[in-house]
Amino acid sequence: MKEKYLKPQFETSDKGLLARAPAKVNLSLLIADKRPDGYHNLETLMAKITLYDEMLFETDKEEGIELVCNGLWSPAGEDNLVYKTCRLFYDAVNTEPRIKLTLTKNIPAGSGLGGASSDAATVLLALNKLYNQSIDSSKLHKLAGQLGSDVAFFLNGPLAVCTGRGEKVSKVDKKLPFAAVLVLSDINTSTKRVYGNFKEDLELFSSLSGQIKAHISKNRVDLVQKMCANMLAKTSFALDNELALLKKEIQEITKLPVLLSGSGSALFMILNAGQYREAEILQREIANSRGCNSIIVFDNEW
Catalytic residue among 119, 150, 240, 299: 150
Catalytic residue among 24, 48, 105, 247: 24
> What's 18-48 look like in SS3?
EEEEEEEEEEEEEEEEECCCCCEEEEEEEEE
Distance CA 293, CA 286 (A): 8
53: helix, coil or strand?
strand
Q: Which residues pair with 206 in a beta bridge?
A: none
Distance CA 241, CA 221 (A): 31
Helix (H) or strand (E) holding 86: helix 81-92
> Alpha carbon of 31 to those of 143, 198, 213, 270: distances in Å?
24, 9, 15, 22
Annotated active-site residue 213? The verdict is no
105, 53 in Cβ contact below 8 A?
yes
Annotated active-site residue 171? The verdict is no
299: helix, coil or strand?
strand
Residues with catalytic function: 24, 150
